[in-house]
Structure 1
Amino acid sequence: MTETESALTFTQLVERLGGFTPQNIESWAFVKSPFTLSHWTMNVVEVLLIVGALWGLRHSIARFKAGESVYLGFWLASVIFMLALEIPVYFPEKLGAPDNALFFIHNEFSVQFFFGRAPLYILALYPAIMYAAFVLVRQAGLFDQRCGAFIGALGVGVVHHVFYEIFDHFGPQYGWWTWNYPNFTSSLASVPVSSMVSFAFVGPIALTLATQLLVPKSVAMDNADAKDASGRVRRFALGTLLAGLLTPVIFVLLTLDTWFSLLGIEMTPRSEMVASVALVGTALLLTVGQLLRLTTFSSRGLWAYSKAYLALFLGVFAGLWLYALPDYFSAVEGVTSQGYPIGSLPYVLGCSGFAIFFLLREL
């Protein structure tokens, strides 16, 4: 079988990306000079997402001190979710799967963990974009209505999806990561459809539902004695831990793979694409309709945390995409002269339009 017909092992995927430093792969964690990365765009995304995660943490702590614990709970649960989900994905052979069962590998970035498998910026990705999407939807009032937990969770999934896909369709063009394509049913340009739906849409929905279910909304301490305050903190910590650990379970239950299996339907490229468009499209229409009903057009909130960060994210990627256009349009059969696959610019433009819409809605 040819390389395009069979899935690749970690070593083969490393060779596709240009090779890693051997001693780095053998290290649990390593630091690499940012001036020696494969492409300068990798430095940009590292800074952007690490700043986003820290900015979100600062915001969540401020809300916690004000008595709103759900924000910090969501931020912390996103980190637990990331560790619980990503680490098994990096080492499928440890779970009894063949060594070519990998879905993807990341290139070498400035700081890397788990024997070269997990860059720091990917660890920051979850609390950066998911948390910002959660805050935006919560502040738009989608949770404060009938069936608010469900509608709000769908809104978080949609908002996260449109921002995440701007990133997801850019990274492969400059070797930020490579997909193990034979392990996926279908792709839109360089991005597997299951990534676009499961990681970009279903994941934040699962995290939001788990957080809403298990994390106390408030741990206000104003009138609490020391014993009562300690109990509230313990309940918050336990709820957050359980939310983070429950999220991967909800995530798996909500994926298209699970539903196709339960219904006894064979997943073909066509059926996966149709189901994905129906699922994400319906949630998008519902979220846009709710925002049109509950909010008005305004640019006032752009200075607030979530919108300010997401606007920064959008602006940075607008610049990156402008830089990438010459390589994008000169690609032959979807592959650049550097040997990397391109994403879908039309999909990115559509996501960018909805991203701007979300940024310009205000209660």
Structure 2
Amino acid sequence: MADHCSNTFAELATELGFSCEEAGGLVEFRSPFALENWTLPVLELTIVAGAILALWYAIVRLRRHGDPTNLVLWFGATAYLFVIEPPLYFPAAFGIEEHVDTMFAHNVFTVDFLWGRLPLYIIAIYPLMATMAFGIVRMLGIFRRYGVLIGATCVGFVHHAFYEIFDHLGPQLRWWEWSVDNPINQPMFDSVPMGSVVVFAALWPMSLAFCVQYFVGRHVDDGRHFSGIELTWRTVVIGLLASVGTFVLPLPATVIGMSNTTVRGVVYALELAVLAVVAGVVLVRQWSQLRRDTEAAPQYTDPFVQRFSALYLAVFAFLWIASLPAFFDAVDGQTSNGDPIGNLWYTAACFAIAIASVLATFTVPRPQPTPDSPASATSEVSS
């Protein structure tokens, strides 16, 4: 599909080690041993396996216990992906090339779609990350106690921690390459655009979680059952409205920082700070309350999220440790191979938040099962 090889994408592809003109068709398979480096198949296996397991667990909850929330979240995140990503890969095909140039290029992985633009693991990472963040917040009972908006804010905060661990490592290991000359990607936070740090790491999952909980989750918590048709149209609406939310939530930074990237970065940082303060206070307060009042145990537990979140953090800790020698040898923010490095201190803070969030779900009282209750249903799944 050489006619869609814009100059920017072709340059990024060359820097990553593959040719845009030779990238395969709608789907292409490669040997995992023929990729850029050994970290690519490790990343791919971790994320794809996690997404498949998340889908399986979501189906189990729906079929056995009539709880479709996880399934709607999984497909809602996937629907969001297919609304947001294709225009970023092919701006010319969508008639927006005069406004949006190529922002980034993914490296090629074992399984790729859309002429080398969309690795399978990127499709998988949207529902997996959303499932982990949403599950942690739901297990802590925050939606029930604080409502849809605050619960969604906490999801955005937790998702941000998990995502930035990945986001600040990818450029160094050539999982993708950002177009640093693209004004949309400015300002940069070391190797990551502030737009990615705030919008894709925090605001889009906040938007998705709000829609999922508003249209499905809160009704399920109240004991309502949905038909297949109801779930289908609600999932489509969730994917579309979450996309709108991703446009609306960053508007302060978009509008105020329209002519000045420094101002845009400051407003982005302020938005993230507000989200972090609100979510941080609520998460700590709710955890403390649950520890003091055993009768206030949340009515939901998710063994998949607990176990896989721990595995995710272990894998990424290993990948980060393996990358540290090149990180510390970097000069002027670039390794000897010319790859940009992320921010280690920020990543360490995100690791601390993510680990604390997972541990919190293990240290609060478990729900007391009663016949036909959500807690009882979850206990059956976990056993």
Residue in 2 that maps onto 1:76: 75
1:116 counterpart = 2:116? yes
Q: Would the aligned equivalents of 1:75 and 1:131 in 2 still touch at CA under 8 Å?
A: yes
Corresponding residue number in structure 2 for 1:204 = 205
CA–CA distance in structure 2, aligned partners of residues 283 and 260 of structure 1: 14
Return the alpha-carbon distance in structure 2 between the equivalents of residues 46 and 143 of structure 1.
32
Q: How many residues align?
A: 343
* Counterparts in 2 of 1:83 and 1:303: CA distance versus 1, 3 Å: closer
Does residue 158 in structure 1 map to residue 160 in structure 2?
A: no
- The match for 1:4 is none
Describe the SS at the equivalent of 1:105. Answer: strand
Deviation at 1:292, TM superposition (A): 2.0
- Residue 47 of structure 2 is aligned with which of 49, 57, 62? 49
The amino acid of 1:178's aligned partner reads E
Counterpart of 1:3 in structure 2 is none
1:276 aligns with 2:275: no
- The letter for the 1-side match of 2:90 is F
Identity across the alignment (%): 34
Q: Which SS does the other structure have where 1:335 is aligned? A: coil
Aligned to 2:373: none
Question: TM-score, structure 2 length as denominator?
Answer: 0.83
Kindly tell me: are residues 18 and 76 of structure 1, through their superposed partners in 2, closer, same or farther at Cα, counting changes over 3 Å? Answer: same
1:246 partner amino acid: L
Match of 1:294 in 2: 286
In the TM superposition, what whole-angstrom CA distance separates every residue of 1:17-58 from its partner, at most 9, and x where no partner exists?
1223744x2411100011100000001100110111012112
Partner Cα separation in structure 2 for residue 313 and residue 12 of structure 1? 32
Query: How far off its partner does 1:307 sit?
Result: 2.0
Query: Residue deviations 1:229-278, cap 9 Å, x none?
Result: 8x7211111111111122111111112xx33455x554533322322222
TM-aligned CA deviation for residue 321 of structure 1: 0.8
Residue 130 of structure 1 deviates from its aligned partner by 1.2
What secondary structure is seen at the aligned counterpart in 1 of 2:108? Answer: coil
Aligned to 1:132, the other structure's residue is in SS state helix
Taking structure 1 as reference, are residues 181 and 302 closer, same or farther at Cα in structure 2, changes over 3 Å only? farther
Would you say the 8 A contact 1:53–1:124 is kept in 2?
A: yes
Q: Paired residue for 1:304? A: 303
Residue equivalent to 1:243 = 238
User: What are the Cα deviations for residues 55-82 of structure 1, in whole angstroms up to 9, with x where unaligned?
Assistant: 2112211221212112211111111111
Judge conservation of contact 1:185–1:268 (CA < 8 Å) in 2. no
Which residue of structure 1 aligns with residue 338 of structure 2?
339
What letter corresponds to residue 355 of structure 2 in structure 1?
I
Q: Is the 8 A contact 1:8 1:180 kept in 2?
A: no
Task: Name the counterpart of 2:380.
Answer: none
TM-score in terms of structure 1 length: 0.88
Q: Indicate the residue corresponding to 2:367 in structure 1.
A: none
SS in 1 for 2:28: strand
Structure-2 separation of matches of 1:332 and 1:117: 30
Instruction: Kindly provide the amino acid, as one letter, of the partner of residue 239 in structure 2.
Output: G
Match of 1:232 in 2: 227
Distance in 2 between residues matched to 1:216 and 1:350, nearest whole Å: 30
CA contact (8 A) 2:172 2:342 kept: yes
Tell me the distance in 2 between the aligned counterparts of 1:70 and 1:141. Answer: 15
Distance 1:51 1:291 in 2: 29
The answer to which of 269-278 and 60-69 deviates more is 269-278
Of 157-166 and 278-287, deviating more is 278-287
Change (3 A) 1:64 1:302: closer
Offset at 1:295? 1.6
Task: Return the alpha-carbon distance in structure 2 between the equivalents of residues 261 and 327 of structure 1.
Answer: 35
Is the Cα–Cα contact under 8 Å of residues 46 and 312 in structure 2 kept in the other structure?
Answer: yes
Whole-Å Cα distance in 2 between the matches of residues 249 and 303 of structure 1?
29
Unaligned runs of 5+ in 1: 1-6
| Distance in structure 1 (CA, Å) of the matches to 2:30 and 2:304 | 31
The 1:265/1:239 distance shift into structure 2, 3 A limit, reads same
> Structure 1 residues 117, 315: CA separation in 2 closer, same or farther (over 3 Å shift)?
same
Distance 1:8 1:82, change over 3 A: same
- Contact 2:257–2:267 (CA<8 Å) still a contact in 1? no
Secondary structure in 1 aligned to 2:112?
strand
Q: Give SS of 1:9's match.
A: helix
Q: Aligned equivalents of 2:303 and 2:316: distance in 1?
A: 20
Structure-1 residue corresponding to 2:215: 214
Q: Which residue of 1 aligns with 2:59?
A: 61
Compute the RMSD of aligned alpha carbons. 2.5
The alpha-carbon distance between structure 1 residues 271 and 337, as it changes in their structure 2 partners (threshold 3 A), is same
